[in-house]
Amino acid sequence: MTTDGLVQCSTCGVERDSADLPEWCPICVDERQYVDPGGQRWVSPPADAVIALAELESGLWGLEVSGGVGIGQLAKVVVTDAGTVMVDVPAAITADAVAAVRALGPMRAIIPSHPHMFGLQSLWSQALDDAAIYVSAADADWLGRRPAALQLWEGSIEPVPGVVASQPGGHFPGSSVVHWTGTDGAGVLLCSDTIMVNPDRRTVSFLRSYPNRLPLSAAVVERIAAHVDRYDFDRVYSNFGLRIAHDGKAAVAASARRHAAWVRGEFDHLTGPG
């Protein structure tokens, strides 16, 4: 594994070719993200990051990063008889973490849900026998480095039997979700922040920007909810450690109705005098 020619933004952690660095990280100056108050910094992947592999449920593992840079997403690894699939990508990589992921089985696909989750995808692919990296074609212009194993996609893909990725959009035009049937037979939706599990672990949110609190319209949220309605799922995981443990499909549908009603003004009477 070599990092020659690769740096990452210290704020978002996304990789970029060092030979073609802009003054500002395009991902961070976009209205969905932010530039660190200390200014733009491009850094080499830190050697002091620690990545722990934690079992979230049978057949599903999370990559918990401490130290390093970026926004701290919890990447997931789905384990199947046909191989493994990484959903979202850490903004760090270590030899120990690579060995731990390898031990779960051969990596068949790496699927970043949207540009904020690109992380160090080139290095992870390289370390995992050049595993294919599936980036939504609609979001390809956000790539600051084009991995050798890059594959652009639209619609839906099934990189291993039973693991299906599709693109409801919203947060980004190509924002994706991944559906998988857990070892107990219940459906699982890995939705990153295309759909964000709330701290109450009973509802979800739909936003254009989470750090900057920009909402999506009622029509877009209803479209996202209709898209994931194609799947049967009980559990919902987003990309910062929160999950809905039961009745996830009903929770997503009810949360979409609530969001749409609020942004249409149906609950304005609850906000005080006009």
pLDDT for res 2:
60
CA distance 125 to 146: 12
pLDDT of residue 84: 98
pLDDT digits (tens, 9 = 90+) for 50-101: 999 999 999 999 999 999 899 999 999 999 999 999 999 999 999 999 999 9
Mean pLDDT value of segment 1-28? 92
Domain count, the chain: 1
Element (H, E) at 5: none
The mean pLDDT of 149-175, rounded to a whole number, is 98
E strands, 185-244, where? 187-192, 196-197, 204-205, 207-209, 214-215, 235-238, 243-244
- Judge whether 233 lies within some domain: yes
Residue 255 forms part of a structural domain: yes
Asked if the structure places residue 227 within a domain, the reply is yes
1 lies in some domain: no
Give the mean model confidence (pLDDT) for residues 225-250: 98
Q: Does any domain span residue 160?
A: yes
**Residue 76 placed within a domain:** yes
Supply the pLDDT for residue 3.
75
Instruction: Assess whether pLDDT exceeds 70 at residue 36.
Output: yes
Q: Is the pLDDT of residue 24 over 60?
A: yes
Task: For residues 114-130, give the mean pLDDT.
Answer: 98
Compute the distance between CA of residue 78 and CA of residue 180 in angstroms, rounded to an integer: 8
For residue 249, give the CATH number of its domain: 3.60.15.10
Residue 198 lies in a domain: yes
Residue 1 has a pLDDT of 52
Distance CA 231, CA 186 (A): 11
User: Who's near 179: CB < 8 A, 6+ residues apart?
Assistant: 163, 164, 165, 166, 187, 188, 189, 190, 231, 233
Look up tokens 């249409």; give the residue.
264
Q: Report d(CA 211, CA 12) in Å as an integer.
A: 12
- What range defines the domain where residue 117 resides? 6-270
Residue 214 — pLDDT band, cuts 50, 70, 90?
very high
Cα separation, 248 vs 21, in Å, equals: 42
